[in-house]
Amino acid sequence: MIRKKPIVTFVGAKQAREGLAFIHKGGSPECKDCKYYQICVGKLEAGRVYRVVKLYERVFPCKLHEAGVKVVGVVESDITATIPSRLAMEGAVVTFLRQECDMQNCEHHEYCAPLGLADKDRCAIVEVKENVSCPRGLSLVRVALRRLPAS
């Protein structure tokens, strides 16, 4: 299965630990003039979920983090989502589409519209989990998806 090499970036020194997952929301206005902008913010895509896989010793000063920022290696996280059961085969490549649903109180809603994935993202199915009991009667399966680079 495709796994990119880690992206070297910064995370707040107090938060930095292996396994930490976070949604990158882009830089703050204070970040624009920082000499570390390209390393810290420039390599990550807003709206994506990243996971820290490597810690480095270096810490740099930061206007937003009182203890500074630590150098880390991150990869884009696999995302748990629901897809139509007819597509759910481990190793398959699918085009992700959010489930059209307005039932925000449904226990599965967070998987039908997961953070970190956008409509039309190409993804590999890395794990087929369980069938989902959809209150709208759709035949859905919970899977782990790994976003693939744009071709």
20-46 pLDDT, tens digit each:
999 999 889 988 899 999 999 999 999
Give 2's pLDDT tier (boundaries 50, 70, 90).
low
pLDDT (tens digit per residue) in 87-122:
999 999 999 999 888 888 899 999 999 999 999 999
Q: Sign (positive/negative) of CA torsion 19, 50, 7, 148?
A: positive
Q: Per mean pLDDT, which range of 59-63, 68-72, 84-88, 100-104 is the poorest?
A: 100-104
Residue spans of alpha helices (H) in the chain: 37, 109-112
- Coil/strand/helix, residue 26: coil
Its pTM stands at 0.88
- Residue 23, CA distances (Å) to 35, 88, 106, 124 in order: 23, 26, 23, 20
Percent of the chain with pLDDT over 70: 97
- Residue 97, CA distances (Å) to 111, 119, 124 in order: 11, 5, 13
φ/ψ region of 40 (left if φ > 0, alpha if ψ in -120 to 50, else beta) reads alpha
